Structures are given as C-alpha cells and as structure tokens.
Amino acid sequence: MSDTSQGTGGLAFDSKKRSWPNELNIFFALIIIVVIFEILGQTLPYMNDQSFLFDTRDRFDTIFNEARLRIIILQVSIIGIIALGVTQVIITAGIDLSSGPLVGATAMIVMSFAQTELVNGNLNPNPVLGTWAFDLPVLIPVIVGLAFGAFIGAINGSLIAYTRIPPFIATLGMFLICRGIAQAWTRGKPVSFPTEGYAALGKGMMPVFWFLALAILCHVLLRYTLYGKHTYAIGSNEDAARMSGINVQRHKVLVYMIASMLAAFAAVILSSKNLTAQSGMGIFYELYAIAMAVIGGVSLTGGRGSIVGTVLGAMVFGVIQSGFTYIKLDAFYQLMAMGGIIISAVVLDKMRQERALLRS
Amino acid sequence: MSDIILQTEGLTKHYGGVHALNDADFTLKKGEHVAIMGDNGAGKSTFVRQITGVEQRTSGKITFDGNEVHFSGPIDAREAGIETVFQTLALADDLDVPDNLFLGREKTKLNWLGPFRFLDYKAMRRETIEGLERTGVKIPNIRNTIANMSGGQRQCVAIARTATFASKLTIMDEPTAALGVQETAQVENIIRTLKEQGEPLILVSHNMRQVFDLVDRIIVFRRGRIVANLNKEDTDGNDVVSYITGAKTGAEYEGAA
C-alpha cells in the first residue's frame, strides 16, 4: 500500500488498451460476405464463371461490376434513410414499428400535392385534391410530407414519454393507424403522375445521394451535438440522465419526431422514384430498417450504436440480398436466410458484450 | 454565522403516517467532515434526501451558505453547490469519463443551434483532467467508457464530479458499500484529499473504522431523530454503537427517542 496516496490504490488502468471499434467488425463481416459470394459464384456449377464483384465481361471502364454495385446501394438507400432514424430511436432504448406504414401514408398524401395537370397533353385522370393542387412547386409536397412525419413522430414520442407506455405498443398502434390513413386517403386507389420537379427528387442515383447526405448529417448530430450526447445518455441510463438534469421526456419526443421525419422523407424519395404512390408501399420497411441498424451493431437495449454502423449494416443487407439473387437462390429461401442472419447478428453482438463484461 | 455552510432547523419528513424524520437540527461548518450513522431505517437517507431536494420536506428550515433554500429537485441543489454521490451510481455506462462528469451541463459551442448545438469536447476533457488531478483520482484513459471500469473506478468518477464543479458541499451516501478493500482505500483517499482542500462533506456510512478514520464529528440517527452529536476525539466505537442501538441517548437529546 505504498502509493495509495496517489489515487488508484494499486489498481492499474491500461491506457494503451484501445477499444476495438465495433464498426470495424461489421466492415470485415461485409468483406467476408462479399468474398463468400465471389467464391460461391466461381465454384457453383451452374454459375458459368460469373463474378459477383468484378467486371469479367468488360462492360465497364473499371474492374468492378458497376451495375451490381449501383443496384446494391440503390436498393438499400430508401430503407437506409429510415434506418438512420430508427438507429437514433433504438439508441434511446426505444423502437419504432410505425415507419413502414408511415412511408405508405406519407407517400399517398405527398403525391396528392405533387400531381401535374397535363399528362401527355391529356388532363390528369385521377386528381386527388382538385385542380388547385396541380403543378405546385416541389417544395410544397416535401414540406407537407416532413410536417406529416413530424406530427406522427410527435404523437409517438409524446405517448412514449408522457404516458410511459412501451414504445413497442405505441408504435404498433401507430403502425395500424398509418396503414389505415394510407388506405383511407384515396379509398385504396394509387396516386400517380407527379410534376417533373418532384420526379427529379428520386431519379436515377438520387436516392443514394440523399441517403449518404442524411447519413453524414445524422452522424454529425449524434457524434458532435448535445442532442446526440443526450440520446446516448438516455439509452444508457435513463435515471442518470434524468438526475443530471436532462429533460428526458422532451428529448424523446424530439428523437421520435426526427425518426418519423426521416421515414417521411424516404416516402418522398420512394414515391418520386416510382412516379406513383400506393397505400401498400413500405411493407416490411420498418423491420428491414430495424434489421439494418441491428446488423450495424446498434444495441436494442440502448446506449450503443452509430450511424457509421447502420450504413455498414445497410450495405451488408444489400450485399446479402444481391448475393442471394446472384447465386440464384429462390426468394422464399432469401427471406429465411435473412431472418437467420439478423438473429445471428444479435447473438454475436450479445456474445461480444458478455466477453467485454468478463474482461473488465 | 459565516463559517456555517449548512444548517437545518426542525427538519421533518412524514410519509403518510410514518414519521421518517423528526425535528432534525444539524449544523455543518465550512471544511468540516461529518459522518451520519444509524441503523437501517433510522432516517439517514431520508435526511439526505431532504437536503438534496430529491424529496420535499414536511416542515423545517434549511439554510445553505447563508441563505434559506427550497430546492425543488436535485438539479436545483446541484446548481446551488451541493453535489451528491448517490448509493446507486448515476452514471451512463456507455459514455466516457468527461461525458459523465458533464452530463446535463455540457460545455457547448454555437449555442444558437439550440438542442443541436455542438459539444466542446476539448474544454470538457481539459476540465475533466483538472478535476481528476484535484481529487487525486488517476484515470490514464479518460476516454474509456464507464462500462469497462470496475466498481471502484466508477465510484471515483462519480466522486470526481464534485471536484470538477467546485461544489460547496459534498454528500456521499455509503460510497464504499459495494466496493472491495483496495477500491475502498482508493475512495477514502479521495475523501482525505477533499478534507485537505477544505471541502465540507457529509458521509453516510455503516463502516465504523472508516468513520473514525475520516471524519471530525459523528451524528447518530435513531428512529427518525438525531440522538447524538459526538466529536471524534470524545468517543469510541462502543460508545457510538450504544447510541445507534438505543442503549444511550445524548444528554441534549434526552426525551427525543
């Protein structure tokens, strides 16, 4: 007990022990999965030496199979935008099941404000709101969509924060309400023929641009702002956050609002990309978004996870989907395999957490 | 009067019909370390909860730093300069040391951004290191998350909060109850450092050796009342135990319990 006057009382802190970022694990997992598909492609007898990743038939200037890479990232972009919001909700130890139906409802509403008057010289065959809503500036449907998302998110958040019902129940209720709104809006009829300006929002690779831009924004929010710190603090130890003077209830409302606004924006991009809105849009999106976050290392018990992880999780999701198609696995087996992968991601994360606990 | 940091007069708390705390008169001088002892349910924690604003008192008067105070919550008390290390540690496991020290009072930049204002990580890290040095807590890697720390290290982080924010009074509710021998020694060293720096302290503890080691004065609670106010020099373990069990009652508190 010679140096007890110096604080640590003989306990050694290891300053060199850098914690291994979880995101790196996911990145390696991504690479391994790509390699596995590449090997499968080269060895399976019916594949005729097709490559998963590389441009073996000289169709592109680069060595990579650009078309496949594009499709992979394009097909995860829209659900990825939802996953950015779901990540924040899960970090507060909550869950948001309403994002998929919210996409459907928002798409229907937004598209009604984005219709054009003349389709190939003929009058728009199925206007929803009357002639005043034709050819509005593109900003109006986007603002309507975000406002609707914020409204639904505020209800979700207020229910969870002030009535203290479990997030699962509150957002499950909202799940059904939103699906109902989507169907009631036009009695189930699709809404089509957007203005050119609106159609440009989701054209080509635009969804990828939005996904990456919003990912950077959310990353900055979570990592560098008070909002992000309090989000992690609430998920980590809600009582401690409250005792430290954080307004936990108000913060939760804000988190759910941001998540729903991201889902609403995803609806804008999706309806713009498809040039139509249908009440059935966004089916399973809430679950896929949660899956992306979970594969990306966001802990369902709250407090842990990052936007970088979720983006990587989205990429893993996209690569697996694309890979299954590439090795010509039937769609129903794809669903089963996807389910298995999500479960193993959570199990692996749990094991990793318990190992870390044993070490300390 | 000016050397008194905290004074309670007739502090009383009833939970319905249960008289958890009755007429507690208590004074703490600046720089003084006082222990509160007593059996389970004697009113120690109730007393602490009234001072720190966790609960609202039924009646009585609390004077802190020369002013009569009515804290509406623990945050009020903290802003006035009372730091409490709670029995259940109020730490966020997934955050690192500066994040925890500054939880709820972060240093920020670009404040016009409202809830989205940016954190000033640099300033917080610098002040964390200064605070840790003042308490004598050594944590080489302050960017480690709390989840990776032992119970003693966590307790040190919780205590280091008090030093970082230049509080006027520190209250510790059984800070070593869940700790091992070495970790307890570590926490006790921090308490000695606070003493050297003249920081007043209220220590709630069951540990007789620790109390005699660390404090100047011992207050004994029994059945919701203060039954003894003893200078460390004038008493010993057996004496204190007889007050705690009710075999003896201080002369000035005769008829109290």
Q: Which residue of A has its CA nearest to B134?
A: A7
CA distance B96 to B80: 26
Say yes or no to pLDDT of A295 above 70: yes
pLDDT value at residue A360: 54
Q: What is the mean pLDDT of residues A155-173?
A: 95
Give dist(CA B138, CA B160) in Å, integer.
Answer: 10
What is the pLDDT at residue A2? 35
Confidence of residue A275 (pLDDT cuts 50, 70, 90): very high
pLDDT at B163: 64
Report the share of chain B in percent with pLDDT over 70.
Answer: 95
> Is A119 inside a domain boundary?
yes
CB-CB neighbors (< 8 A) of A5 in chain B = 136, 189
Gap between the Cα atoms of B59 and B53, Å rounded: 13
Element (H, E) at B151: helix B151-164
pLDDT score recorded for residue B117? 92
B207-237 pLDDT, tens per residue?
888 899 899 999 999 888 888 888 888 888 8
3-class DSSP state of B92: coil
Confidence band of A264 (pLDDT split at 50, 70, 90): very high
Calculate how close chain B gets to A249, using CA atoms only, in Å. 14
- Does residue B21 carry a pLDDT above 80? yes
Number of domains comprising chain A:
1
Cβ under 8 Å to A: B residues 86-125: 86, 88-95, 99, 103-106, 108, 113, 115-119
Burial B69-85 (b: 16+ CB within 10 A, else e): bebebbbebbebbbbbb
Considering the domain boundaries, does residue A295 fall inside one? Answer: yes
In-domain check, residue A42: no
Q: Do B117 and A225 count as a contact with CB atoms less than 8 A apart?
A: yes
Model confidence at A265, pLDDT cuts 50, 70, 90, reads very high
Tally A–B CB contacts below 8 A.
128
Cβ contacts of B113 on chain A, cutoff 8 Å: 225
pLDDT for residue A244:
83
Residue B136: pLDDT band by 50, 70, 90 thresholds? confident
pLDDT at A19: 63
Residue A93 distance to chain B (closest CA, Å)? 12
Q: Is A304 on the interface with B (CB under 8 A)?
A: yes
**Chain A, nearest residue to B115 by Cα:** A227
At B217, which CATH number? 3.40.50.300
Mean pLDDT of the residues in chain B? 84
Cα distance between the two ends of chain A: 22
In a domain, A47, yes or no: no
- Count of domains forming chain B: 1
With cut-offs at 50, 70 and 90, classify the pLDDT of residue B87. low
Whether pLDDT at B1 is above 60:
no
Highest mean pLDDT out of A1-15, A176-190, B52-66 = A176-190
Of B94, B135, B182, the CB nearest to A304: B94
Q: For residue A357, what is the nearest residue in chain B, using CA coordinates?
A: B148
Q: Convert the pLDDT of each residue in A296-324 to its tens digit.
A: 989 888 999 999 999 999 999 999 988 88
Interface check for B16 against chain A (CB to CB < 8 A): the answer is no
Show residues of chain B in contact with A226, CB under 8 Å: 106, 108, 115-119
Res B89: pLDDT: 66
Lowest mean pLDDT among A232-236, B52-56, B201-205: B52-56
Test the B interface: residue of A14, A22, A222, A225 with most B CBs within 10 Å? A225
* Closest chain B residue by Cα to residue A18: B144
Say yes or no for a CB contact (<8 Å) between A226 and B78. no
CA distance A111 to A194: 7
Q: What is the share, in percent, of chain B residues with pLDDT greater than 90?
A: 11
Quote the pLDDT of residue A329. Answer: 85
* Per-residue pLDDT tens digits for A188-244: 899 989 999 999 999 989 999 999 999 999 999 999 999 999 999 999 999 889 888
Do B103 and A244 make contact, defined as CB atoms within 8 angstroms? yes
Cβ contacts of A357 on chain B, cutoff 8 Å: 147
How far B69 CA lies from chain A's nearest CA (Å)?
19
- In a domain, residue A334? The reply is yes
Nearest C-alpha in A relative to B160: A7
Structural domain contains residue A49: no
Q: Domain residues for B226?
A: 4-253
Distance from B1 to chain A by nearest Cα, in Å? 32
C-alpha A269/C-alpha A292 separation (Å) is: 19
The answer to whether residue B199 scores a pLDDT higher than 50 is yes
Q: B139 touching A, CB under 8 A?
A: yes
- What CATH number is associated with residue A209? 1.10.3470
Mean pLDDT, residues B199-204: 90
**Do residues B206 and B177 make contact, with C-beta atoms less than 8 angstroms apart?**
yes
Interface of A with B in 219-248 (CB under 8 A): 221, 224-227, 229-230, 232-233, 235-237, 239-241, 243-246
ipTM of predicted complex: 0.78
- A8-25 pLDDT tens trace: 433 444 444 556 778 898
**Most confident range, picked from A100-104, A299-303, B136-140:** A100-104
Q: Which residues of B132-153 are buried (b: 16+ CB within 10 A; e: fewer)?
A: bebbbbbbeebebbbbbbbebb
Range of the domain at A172: 63-355
Residue of A9, A13, A236 lying closest to B183 (CB–CB): A9
- Nearest Cβ partner of B152 from A11, A227, A254? A11
Q: What mean pLDDT comes out for the span B45-65? A: 88
> Band of the pLDDT at A278, cuts 50, 70, 90?
very high
Contacts with B91 from chain A: Cβ below 8 Å: 237, 240
Please give the single-letter amino acid code of residue B215. V
Average pLDDT over residues A283-296: 92
For A297, left (φ over 0), alpha (ψ -120 to 50), or beta? Answer: left
Cross-chain residue pair A13–B141, CB shorter than 8 Å: yes
Question: Which residues of chain A have a CB within 8 Å of the CB of B72?
Answer: none
* Closest residue of chain A to B79, computed from CA coordinates: A245
Mind telling me how many Å the CA of B179 is from chain A's nearest CA?
12
Cross-chain CB nearest to A226 (options B119, B135, B156): B119
User: B147 touching A, CB under 8 A?
Assistant: yes
Whether the predicted pLDDT of A261 surpasses 80? yes
For residue range A49-99, list pLDDT tens digits in order.
677 877 777 777 777 788 888 889 998 999 999 999 999 999 999 999 999
pLDDT of residue A63: 75
- B217: DSSP letter: E
Q: Could you give the C-alpha distances from B209 to A82, B65, B86, B188, B213, in angstroms and in order?
A: 58, 30, 21, 11, 6
Predicted confidence band at A270 (pLDDT cuts at 50, 70, 90)?
Answer: very high
**CB contact B155 to A (< 8 Å):** no
